[in-house]
Amino acid sequence: MWMPVHLSDHYYDPERDYCGLYVVAKIELPEFGPTTELLKIFDKKGIVLITITSHQKDLVAYDFVIVDLTGKKHLKKELEKEIKERFGKRLLLFECTDTGIPGFIYNMKGFPLVFNFSNAYLPMAALSTSAWKTLFEGLTKRFGSGGMVIMWFMGNDAGEGKAKVLLNLKGKLTNAERIKIALARLQSFGWGKFELVECDDRGKRVVIRVQDNFEDMLTKDLKGYQNSFLRGFLVGLTCTLFNKACRGVETKCINKGDPYCEFLIQ
């Protein structure tokens, strides 16, 4: 069973009284876990927890929680008081957030968006699938097949850049292992579910299978569209890792009735 991973939750309902709490506190295990203590307080007061984002670093917990105080707004001051009393000197920061729009709440402290690779934080700038779809449609509408060429080169350059980063990773990694790390990143970014089916030591034949390919799913209504962006990325990645010219073709495609997309790079 696949588990959806939330980027950042936004809630809007003018009929509800949402409350966002940002709590930063020291961790003193096993006696005191800030996140656990917050959950205990909410349960004790019968407060509905909508979502919680928790991050820990250097024995400090950063928690942002959204609770529903509809019909219980009087508990807001009590909640603040109990948190401060129970946390005591461990509490480093406490804030109630307010967007200024009734019924609208999100993690106002949630910036920048980062991708964490072993505590190396890479800033991200995400696009929704609807934005990607608009981009694909716009390029093909304006430039026809030339739009797909543009997407290929964009993907190719991105793949080359990612390969250069992977080549600098510590340890004795094979290129097949580097490709697996790259595909894991793409899956984390929502591009699809990837599998390295085949990869020889010299990079003469690389086969990559993709289920739920985001590009394919978003362009199924565009007649004649090929998965140019992802194909370009995989070619750029492979070419740079093996330091040789490669050609990539899509041998299977969801939009052609196949159960998955499959790319052959050689």
Q: Closest Cα to residue 181, out of 169, 192, 197?
A: 169
Q: Domain extents for the chain? A: 10-111, 125-265
d(CA 157, CA 11): 37
Give the pLDDT confidence score for residue 6 in this predicted structure: 86
Rounded Cα distance, 179 and 246, in Å: 15
The answer to whether the pTM exceeds 0.95 is no
- The answer to whether residues 247 and 266 touch, using CB atoms and an 8 Å cutoff, is yes
Could you give the 3-state DSSP secondary structure of residue 206? strand
Q: What tokens appear for 25 in the block?
A: 């506190």
CATH architecture entry for 125-265: 2-Layer Sandwich (3.30)
Looking at the chain, the number of H-run helices and the number of E-run strands are 7, 12
For residue 48, the cross-strand partners are: 68
Taking 50 as the pLDDT cut, the residues of the chain under it are none
Distance CA 109, CA 22 (A): 8
All residues at 6 or more sequence positions from 118 whose CB lies less than 8 Å from its CB, including other chains = none
pLDDT tens track for 47-78: 999 999 999 989 999 999 999 999 999 999 99
Give the span between the Cα atoms of 232 and 161, in whole angstroms: 12
Considering the domain 10-111, what is its CATH architecture?
Answer: 2-Layer Sandwich (3.30)
Give the per-residue pLDDT at 15: 94
Same fold, 10-111 and 125-265: no
How far is it, in rounded angstroms, from Cα 193 to Cα 213?
A: 7
Gap between the Cα atoms of 72 and 88, Å rounded: 25
